[in-house]
């Protein structure tokens, strides 16, 4: 299967960073998700129950990230991958977490991970 559902450019305010001062403020993270999903059943039925509800994924990801302070964007990426696979039955996905405020001379820094459910 090569179908995907994507959420691109999701901005979430988070307490994130390894420096003490970063744990006292919120900073934006930009999240991109590319999730493997068989879109044929939803295309045939027209029912949200057969689709990967991307708004539910957005709400969940925002809630998970906002729930606690983080140190590294790598932690956020791994958490998102594991939780989305578990709670939304996604078998494989690509997660990109960008932190635009990390390096003043750069537009953004980011990590991208690909995870696949082990059979």
Given 34, 44, 68, 99, the catalytic residue: 99
What is the signed CA dihedral for 19, 23, 24, 29, rounded to 10 degrees? 100
Residues of 78-115 as b/e, b for ≥16 C-beta within 10 angstroms? bbbbebbbeebebebbbbbbbbeebeeeeeeebbeeeb
Residue 99: active-site member: yes
Find the length of the chain: 119
118 token code pair: 């082990």
Question: Which residues does the annotation mark as catalytic?
Answer: 99
């Amino acid at each position: 299967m090569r179908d995907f559902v994507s959420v691109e450019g999701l901005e979430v305010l988070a307490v994130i960073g390894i420096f003490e001062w970063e744990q006292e403020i919120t900073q934006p993270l930009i999240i991109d998700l590319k999730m493997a999903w068989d879109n044929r059943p939803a295309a045939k039925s027209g029912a949200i129950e057969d689709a990967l509800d991307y708004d539910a994924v957005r709400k969940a990801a925002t809630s998970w990230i906002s729930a606690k302070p983080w140190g590294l964007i790598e932690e956020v990426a791994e958490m998102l991958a594991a939780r989305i696979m578990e709670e939304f039955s996604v078998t494989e996905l690509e997660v990109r977490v960008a932190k635009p405020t990390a390096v003043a001379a750069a537009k953004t820094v980011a990590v991208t991970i690909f995870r696949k459910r082990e059979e």
